[in-house]
Amino acid sequence: MTYVGQRASALSQPDPPPATGAAAARDVVAAYVGLTKPRVIELLLLTTVPVMFFAAGRVPHLGLVVATVVGGALSAGSASALNCVYDRDIDEQMRRTRRRAIPRHIVTPGAATAFGLVLGLAAAAILLVWVNPLSAALSVLAECFYLFVYTMLLKRRTTQNIVWGGLAGCFPAMIGWTAVTGHLAWPPVVLFLVVFFWTPPHTWALALRYREDYAGVAVPMLPVVARAEVVGRQIVVYSWVMVGTSLALWPVAGTGPLYPIVAAVLGVVFLVQAHRMWGRARGTEDLGAIKPMVLFHASNLYLSLLFVAVALEPLLR
């Protein structure tokens, strides 16, 4: 069966009958948790906690880590929930998102909005009281940027949506640093930029896989409006800049040898994967041949291991 046939078959399948009793309660809880996009939260916290180790030069105070993690998770969950409310019209049509809580009518838009606002207020309060005002302000700024700039302004209007909208996902590096130090400095700015240049290759690889979904709802992700070869070339360009930026942390922060070695090895592996995908994309639009999800999963592994190196660097000096 072709991809289009699979999609049509999936869309024609009836939803399962509604659960009752305890099962229904579990479904509702799971639906609210799903609104927060837990995988996105995991990724954001992955770039927060290691920077706290780096900023502290040792294991940071556990209470501070817990407050920063809880506040950051609630802030990211708030932004995601409000994003789900705004995008509910296209979520109902996209194969990747049609099983979310609002399209399935498990949670109403009004309830999801209230849920998102409560999470945002709780996040700001926790960061303000138990971390510091600067970290709280950065968290609120990131949330507002994701909702108003990316979701409402850019996503449905320009192929640069994820490039500039992705700035929201870069703030956790600075939040982790300011949580420990109370001020900004060049090292978190470098890490902010690493995530900024990482976001387009990561997201465009996923968008290649689901470009039919995005095209169906008129969201102009780059893979929707450009040939796969063009997308692959852009991914390679951003990947080179990302790797170069990651290596800049070495002189800027005066790290030991561990970080630049890990960053260089990971960078080479990532660049090989990016170039391979670009090569596969030349002359074909067949996603099975291009294999964009190989690069997508490689991008997750790259960022995870790079920030693990960030956390370990001060501990091994």
Q: pLDDT value at position 17? A: 52
pLDDT classification of 21: cutoffs 50, 70, 90? low
Q: pLDDT value at position 25? A: 82
Residue-wise over 119-145: b if at least 16 C-beta within 10 A, else e? Answer: bbebbbebbbebbbebbbebbbebbeb
For residue 1, pLDDT over 80 is answered with: no
Q: Comparing 24-38, 221-235, 246-260, which segment has the lowest mean pLDDT?
A: 24-38
Q: pLDDT value at position 7? A: 38
| Mean predicted lDDT score pLDDT of the chain | 92
pLDDT classification of 20: cutoffs 50, 70, 90? low
* Ordered DSSP codes for the chain: --HHHHHHHHHHSPPPPPP-HHHHHHHHHHHHHHHT-HHHHHHHHHTTHHHHHHHHTSPPPHHHHHHHHHHHHHHHHHHHHHHHHHTHHHHTT-TTTTTSTTTTTSS-HHHHHHHHHHHHHHHHHHHHHHT-HHHHHHHHHHHHIIIIIIIIIITTT-TTHHHHHGGGGGHHHHHHHHHHHSS--HHHHHHHHHHHHHHHHHHHHHHHHTHHHHHHTT---HHHHS-HHHHHHHHHHHHHHHHHHHHHHHHHHT--SHHHHHHHHHHHHHHHHHHHHHHHHTT---HHHH-HHHHHHHHHHHHHHHHHHHHHTGGG-
Q: pLDDT value at position 165? A: 93
Q: pLDDT value at position 317? A: 76
Say whether domain 23-183 belongs to CATH 1.10.1060.10: no
Identify which of 99-103, 133-137, 213-217 has the greatest average pLDDT. Answer: 133-137
- Average pLDDT over every residue of 42-61: 95
Higher pLDDT pick, 10 / 247: 247
For residue 242, pLDDT over 50 is answered with: yes
CA distance 32 to 73: 14
Instruction: Please report, as a single letter, which amino acid is at residue 203.
Output: T
Residue spans per domain, the chain:
23-183, 185-317
- Average pLDDT over every residue of 82-103: 93
For residue 15, pLDDT over 80 is answered with: no
Pick the CATH number of 185-317 from 1.10.3470, 1.20.120, 1.10.10, 2.170.130: 1.20.120
pLDDT classification of 281: cutoffs 50, 70, 90? very high
Q: pLDDT value at position 10? A: 39
What global pTM score does this model have? 0.91
For residue 24, pLDDT over 80 is answered with: no
pLDDT classification of 69: cutoffs 50, 70, 90? very high
